[in-house]
Copies of this chain bind each other. A is one copy, B any other.
């Protein structure tokens, strides 16, 4: 999950120095500093690159803005010609500042901490591209049904771009790679296999072949009962559990060697108090003896007191 953000006063201060969110992501010195802020404050075992999944479609030529109170906004993509126009050749130049950010972070990060690079999974990227903004993604879900060849072409193109993008991140120094499929839970089983699992499998295979020692992590949010099928994808080293997933059952349904990541409710972190210790303890107990990366099940909420995060770190280190 994104570690930096509005809950940190040092982020707010630095955010004011960039014109907008996109500029912040694309200015290496600032993005590197934001990436490192939570690691310096809390002593996390890993840093996750400060960026956004929609930087990739932007690099492929789609206009992108982040509107206060609404989130990302892009012109809806609905035509085959627009898929064909997604231009992978633009990526090296457009993405150079992000790769520079990775190099700066790697040069500064304590050797004991791991730098995680990431991308949005093709299905989740397609949701934003086709609908143009967040919501129930009905335009995307209609396009899948009513124009499957258009949607398949879009997913294929985004899969190629994601492989190129994560490859570049690993080459620049990312030591682990995570794929966020925030909207995987919108799809019924047959389509989940087709548009979540199949492209993810292709990405995992390409990266594992090229970087056999870089751990690959997936986060199919709200996959629910599709989680075990996803977790069995070859090449996947870790899977993130969303807040709804019972870690006891998850553990029993995934391969023994697969690392589970998660899944504290961000609301428990926001509230703090005895319930925070209880919930963190329940997650740790459920996964004792199983490879586990303690994490939230969703992003940190902006109203979260940083002291609660510090508390959680010491709680988890004490478990």
Excluding A189-B244, A224-B242, A225-B249, 4 further A-B contacts by CB distance (< 8 Å) are A138-B267, A185-B222, A185-B224, A224-B245
Contact pattern, A 235-259, Cβ under 8 Å of B = 1, otherwise 0? 0000000111111111001000000
B138, B187, B271: the one contacting A244 at CB < 8 Å is: B187
A306 to chain B, nearest CB (A): 17
CB distance from A220 to the nearest CB of B (A): 10
Give the B-binding residues of A (Cβ under 8 A): 138, 141-142, 144-146, 148, 185-192, 222-229, 242-250, 253, 263-265, 267-268, 270-271, 273, 275, 278-279, 282, 297, 301
Within the oligomer, what is the number of copies of this chain? 2
Q: Considering only CB atoms, which chain B residue lies closest to A244 in the complex?
A: B224
Classify the interface of chain A: helix, strand, loop or mixed.
helix
Q: Is the pair B226, A246 in contact by a Cβ cutoff of 8 Å?
A: yes
Q: In the complex the two chains form, is B225's CB within 8 Å of A275's CB?
A: no
Q: Is the CB of A268 within 8 A of B224?
A: no
Query: Nearest-CB distance from A85 to chain B (Å)?
Result: 26
Quick check: A267 and B224 within 8 Å, CB to CB? no
**Which of B145, B188, B222, B278 makes the CB contact (< 8 A) with A270?**
B145
Least CB distance from A174 to B in Å reads 30
CB distance from A97 to the nearest CB of B (A): 32
Contact of A279 among B188, B229, B271 (CB under 8 A): B188
**When the two chains form their complex, are residues B225 and A244 in contact, meaning their CB atoms are under 8 A apart?**
yes
Q: Which residues of B contact A223 (CB under 8 A)?
A: 224, 244
Q: Look across to chain B and name the residue whose beta carbon is closest to the beta carbon of A271.
A: B145
Cross-chain pairs A/B with CB under 8 angstroms, 24 sampled: A138-B267, A141-B265, A141-B267, A142-B267, A142-B270, A145-B268, A146-B271, A185-B244, A188-B243, A188-B263, A188-B265, A189-B245, A190-B279, A192-B244, A222-B244, A224-B242, A224-B244, A225-B245, A225-B246, A225-B249, A225-B250, A225-B253, A226-B246, A226-B249
